[in-house]
């Protein structure tokens, strides 16, 4: 049996999403056949307006409704601290803690030679320029919060080197590493325990 | 930080899909920010035309481009056999084997009192009417291929009873149950092994 064209087209669209395989794409599509047309229209509308109704902030490269973004325009934020993250989604994770009052810079990825993503494909030059500009003069600390993966670490090393060349006095830090809250030593991997020992603190 | 409205709307649409939680919905949405606008438009278009460009076959309730569906109009199919399945997707699984030449009947679900789905919410009456009508006269066998779950089994029992009342001579069968190909006895559950013993065949 040939699958109807309308169904095949939607399956193909779902398959392009990360982590969605052919079986899941089929399941989601056939599920949507039982959903009211108005709900499908809402879904379609939010897809096509996703990029039309959002902007990349010219200062920090976060994705927002306005430019500059609400964080960059917020006068209560401490502009002497800049936290560098890989993705806009990472900002949400940091903001949920409520413990950070500085500003951000979003790279939109990490250096990954296997995927042909070098420093030029990321907003790294924009960060270096931002540090050199009038805004950058007041920056005392850059916190590099790329993910603790191979690519995130490589990006952090690259950034630290470049930032130090630009300004020798700049304090450059990396998010603390070690045991996550609620974990069990028995199940922690060697790399995490090694980091926890190296990063031990006086109590 | 408030998430931009356009992003929030799409996250909410993804969250409504089965098996997609808040984290996956966020990840998919932020992934789509990096996708070309034309691809988003294609996705949106296939969503809104999904139901507009498909019909439910008036004979077998399969979802197709035309009515009746290609299987019901195919004169090479054996109309004396009707296989009853829960979902249109199940037909694809059966057709992939290439071993079934009969026709189908899609219930669009299974009896599930916990979800308030009784026989009236499914295309069960349509099946009983189909059996009584002029088409149904030639039917010799109904293969009940609902899933081997609690709900699928209950639906099978209900259907078998109703079909027997309608036509005492009708042959009513259920898909064979037992060990799946490639499985290992050591890892099979008791229910499956019990079914395999009960359904043993002379070789």
Instruction: Please report the ipTM that was assigned to this predicted complex.
Output: 0.80
Cross-chain Cβ contact A47/B108 below 8 Å: no
Other CB atoms within 10 Å distance of the CB of residue A143: 19
| Domains, chain A | 5-49 (1.10.8.420), 57-174 (3.40.1360.10)
Cβ(B84)–Cβ(B146) under 8 Å? yes
Query: Choosing among B43, B56, B104, which should be mutated to test the A contact, i.e. which has the most A CBs within 10 A?
Result: B43
> Least CB-CB distance to A50: which of B10, B16, B50?
B10
DSSP A112: B
Report the C-alpha gap between A106 and A90 in whole angstroms.
9
Q: CA nearest B16: which of A40, A145, A101?
A: A40
Q: Which residue stretches of B33-180 are H helix?
A: 37-49, 70-73, 88-97, 124-132, 150-166
Token pair 């005492």 is at which residue? B168
Report the C-alpha gap between A19 and A149 in whole angstroms.
19
Residues in chain A: 203
Cβ(A93)–Cβ(A104) under 8 Å? no
- Residue A59 tokens read as 């200062």
Mark the ranges of chain A whose per-residue pLDDT is less than 70.
1
The tens-digit pLDDT sequence of chain B (203 residues) is 678 899 999 999 999 999 999 999 999 999 999 899 999 999 999 999 999 999 999 999 999 998 899 999 999 999 999 999 999 999 999 998 989 999 999 999 999 999 899 999 999 999 999 998 877 788 999 999 999 999 999 999 999 999 999 888 899 999 988 889 888 888 888 889 988 888 888 88
DSSP B112: B
Q: Which residue of B has its CA nearest to A101?
A: B1
Residues of A in contact with B40 (CB under 8 A): 47-48, 50-51
Residue B1: what pLDDT? 62
Cross-chain Cβ contact B89/A27 below 8 Å: yes
Cross-chain Cβ contact A43/B92 below 8 Å: no
Is B22 an interface residue toward A (CB < 8 Å)? Answer: no
- The predicted model scores a pTM of 0.78
Residue A199: what pLDDT? 86
Strands B63-64 and B55-56 come out as antiparallel
Cross-chain Cβ contact B43/A87 below 8 Å: no
Exposure string over A26-49, b if 16+ CB within 10 A, otherwise e? bbbbbebbeeeeeebebbbbbbbb
Q: CA nearest A176: which of A194, A153, A156, A196?
A: A196
* Exposure on the CB side of residue B84, measured as CA atoms within 13 A: 30
Is B115 an interface residue toward A (CB < 8 Å)? Answer: no
């Amino acid at each position: 049996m040939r699958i109807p064209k309308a169904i095949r087209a939607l399956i193909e669209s779902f398959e392009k999403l990360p982590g969605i395989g052919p079986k899941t794409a089929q399941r989601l599509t056939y599920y949507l056949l039982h959903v009211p047309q108005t709900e499908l229209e809402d879904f379609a509308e939010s897809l096509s307006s996703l990029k039309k109704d959002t902007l990349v902030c010219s200062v920090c490269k976060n994705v927002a409704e306005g430019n500059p973004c609400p964080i960059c325009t917020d006068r209560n934020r401490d502009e002497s601290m800049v936290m560098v993250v890989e993705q806009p989604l990472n900002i949400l994770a940091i903001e949920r803690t409520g413990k950070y009052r500085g500003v951000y810079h979003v790279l939109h990825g990490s250096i990954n030679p296997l995927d042909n993503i070098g420093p030029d494909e990321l907003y790294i030059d924009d960060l270096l320029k931002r540090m050199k500009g009038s805004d950058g003069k007041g920056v005392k600390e850059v916190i590099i919060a790329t993910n603790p993966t191979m690519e995130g670490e490589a990006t952090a090393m690259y950034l630290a080197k470049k930032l130090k060349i630009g300004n020798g006095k700049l304090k450059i830090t990396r998010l603390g590493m070690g045991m996550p809250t609620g974990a069990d030593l028995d199940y922690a991997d060697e790399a995490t325990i090694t980091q926890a020992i190296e990063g031990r603190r006086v109590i």
